[in-house]
C-alpha cells in the first residue's frame, strides 16, 4: 500500500506528478489503478501499486465499460476574431473553435493529464444567433477544433514587408505540432497565426522556422509581421499569455452577410446534439465590423524634403495597396483596385485636432498655399513639419486602416 508521503514524494525516485493518467481514483490515498504512458518507468512504478480497499462507488466506476463511463460535460470557449482571410474568399468574421489554453492542476477526471484540459472536444458544434435574447436561429455548424495556444513571453513590434529576424515568438500549443517551411510555401500562406495583441485586436504573423523547445513549446523565427494589413495591430509588446490561433483549414467561418455588419448580435455556441437552451451552450455578444473588407493602409508617402521646392502648394503623394491576392503579382504595373471606387481622405492634424480634411479620387492630394496660410498663418517651408493621416475609403465599411505620417520640409 502506498502511503501519502510516498505519493507526494514519488515512487522509487520517479515523480508521480505530473503524469498523464487514464484514471486516478484515491480512497484514503490508496491508489486503485494507474496507467503510465512512459513505458520505460512503468515497471518500477507498477511495483508500488497494490490491491487496496475501495468504496462501493469506486468499484462501480471501475466496473463500467468504457462506453458507459461517466465523463464531465465538455466545455468549449469559442474565440472570435474579425480578421481578413488568407485565401481569396471575402470572410467577414471567423469563429475559431477551441478551448482556452491555461495551465491547470492535475485532476481526477478521466482522460485528464498535466497541463491538459480535462474536458474533451464535444464534436459537431452549432452556432445560433439572435438580435435579442430569445428567438435564436441556427446559422452554421462546424466539427473541427482549431489549433490554439498562448505566448510564453512578450512579443515586440518589428518590421513589415520584409523578414523580422530580430524577434523570436515562443508559444505553447494546446494541441498539434509545428514544422519549419521554406520560403515558397511561406509566401503562399503557410504557418500563419493570429496573435491577440490586445482584447479583440489580432496581428497575423507567419513563421518560417519552428524549433521544438519542450513538449508543446516552440520557438518561431524568420517571421513575416503584420500580414494582410494587420501591421496596426502589433503590440509593443503583445503580453505574455496572449492567445494565438493558427489560421488553417480547421477554422470555421461565420457566413455573415454584408447587411448583417454592424448589428449587435447575441450568439450561442454549443454541442449540435443539444438544444440551444441547454446549459452547455456558451453565450457571447459580438458585433461583426467587417474588418476583412476594410481597405489596407496606404504606403510610401512621399516626403517633401526629398525634392527641391519653394513654399507654396504641397502635393502629398502615396502608393495604394490592395486586399486582392492578385496584388502579390510582382509582374503587374499597378495593384488591382479591390474597392468599387478609388477614394481617399487626408486629415491635416494639429496634435489630436483635425484642422482640415482633403477628399480626393487619386493617390495624391494638393494642400494649397491658401489652405496652409489659413491653417498655420503662412505656407509651410524648410524646417517645418506636418502631421497627416490618410485613409482609403470603402463604399461598404467606410474608412480603411489609417496611415499616420509626419512630413518634414
Q: Are 126 and 141 in contact (CB under 8 A)?
A: yes
User: Shortest CA distance to 232 belongs to which of 285, 166, 295?
Assistant: 295
Helix, strand, or coil here: 232?
helix
Structure pTM? 0.69
d(CA 375, CA 20): 69
The pLDDT, as a whole number, for residue 90 is 31
Which tens digits make up the pLDDT trace of 234-262? Answer: 998 999 999 999 998 888 778 888 888 88
Which tens digits make up the pLDDT trace of 316-356? Answer: 999 999 888 777 777 777 888 888 899 999 999 999 999 99
- What's the 3-state SS for 275-316? CCCCCCCEEEEECCCCHHHCCCCCECCCCHHHCCCCCCCEEE
How distant is the alpha carbon of residue 388 from its chain centre? 30
User: Which regions of the chain carry the CATH code 2.40.30?
Assistant: 148-246
What is the DSSP annotation of 21-58? Answer: BS---EETTEE-----S-HHHHHHHHTT-------HHH
* Per-residue pLDDT at 104 exceeds 60: no
For 98, the grid coordinates are 477551441
**CATH class of domain segment(s) 304-408:** mainly beta
d(CA 90, CA 113): 40
* Per-residue pLDDT at 167 exceeds 80: yes
Which tens digits make up the pLDDT trace of 135-166? Answer: 999 999 988 888 899 999 999 999 998 999 99
Phi, psi of 358 (to 5 degrees): -100, 125
User: Which regions of the chain carry the CATH code 2.60.40?
Assistant: 304-408
For the domain bounded by 148-246, which CATH number is listed?
2.40.30
* Per-residue pLDDT at 181 exceeds 70: yes
Amino acid at each position: 500500500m502506498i502511503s501519502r508521503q510516498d505519493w507526494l514524494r514519488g515512487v522509487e525516485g520517479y515523480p508521480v506528478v505530473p503524469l498523464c493518467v487514464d484514471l486516478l481514483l484515491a480512497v484514503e490515498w490508496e491508489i486503485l489503478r494507474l496507467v503510465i504512458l512512459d513505458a520505460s518507468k512503468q515497471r518500477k512504478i507498477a511495483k508500488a501499486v497494490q490491491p487496496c480497499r475501495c468504496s462501493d462507488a469506486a468499484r462501480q466506476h471501475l466496473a463500467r465499460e468504457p462506453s458507459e463511463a461517466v465523463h464531465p460535460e465538455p466545455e468549449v470557449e469559442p474565440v472570435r476574431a474579425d480578421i481578413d482571410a488568407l485565401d481569396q474568399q471575402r470572410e467577414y468574421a471567423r469563429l475559431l473553435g477551441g478551448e482556452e489554453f491555461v495551465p491547470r492542476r492535475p485532476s481526477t477526471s478521466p482522460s485528464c493529464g498535466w497541463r491538459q484540459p480535462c474536458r474533451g472536444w464535444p464534436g459537431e458544434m452549432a452556432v445560433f444567433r439572435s438580435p435579442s435574447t430569445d428567438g435564436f436561429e441556427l446559422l452554421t455548424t462546424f466539427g473541427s477544433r482549431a489549433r490554439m495556444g498562448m505566448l510564453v513571453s512578450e512579443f515586440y513590434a518589428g518590421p513589415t514587408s520584409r523578414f523580422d529576424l530580430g524577434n523570436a515568438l515562443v508559444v505553447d500549443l494546446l494541441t498539434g505540432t509545428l514544422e519549419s517551411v521554406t520560403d515558397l510555401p511561406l509566401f503562399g500562406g503557410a504557418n500563419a497565426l493570429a496573435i491577440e495583441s490586445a482584447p479583440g485586436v489580432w496581428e497575423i504573423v507567419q513563421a518560417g522556422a519552428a524549433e521544438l523547445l519542450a513538449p508543446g513549446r516552440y520557438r518561431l523565427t524568420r517571421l513575416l509581421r503584420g500580414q494582410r494589413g494587420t501591421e496596426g495591430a502589433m503590440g509593443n509588446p503583445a503580453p505574455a499569455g496572449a492567445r494565438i490561433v493558427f489560421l488553417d483549414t480547421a477554422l470555421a467561418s461565420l457566413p455573415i452577410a454584408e447587411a448583417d455588419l454592424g448589428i449587435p448580435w447575441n450568439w450561442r455556441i454549443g454541442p449540435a446534439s443539444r438544444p440551444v437552451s441547454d446549459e452547455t451552450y456558451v453565450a457571447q455578444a459580438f458585433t461583426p465590423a467587417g474588418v476583412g473588407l476594410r481597405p489596407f493602409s496606404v504606403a510610401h508617402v512621399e516626403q517633401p524634403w526629398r525634392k527641391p521646392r519653394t513654399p507654396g502648394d504641397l502635393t502629398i503623394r502615396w502608393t495604394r495597396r490592395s486586399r486582392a491576392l492578385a496584388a502579390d503579382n510582382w509582374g503587374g504595373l499597378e495593384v488591382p483596385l479591390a474597392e468599387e471606387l478609388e477614394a481617399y481622405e487626408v486629415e491635416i492634424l494639429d496634435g489630436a485636432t483635425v484642422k482640415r480634411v482633403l477628399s480626393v479620387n487619386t493617390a495624391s492630394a494638393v494642400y494649397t498655399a491658401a489652405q496652409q496660410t489659413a491653417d498655420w498663418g503662412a505656407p509651410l517651408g524648410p524646417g517645418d513639419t506636418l502631421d497627416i493621416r490618410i485613409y482609403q475609403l470603402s463604399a461598404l465599411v467606410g474608412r480603411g486602416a489609417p496611415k499616420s505620417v509626419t512630413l518634414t520640409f
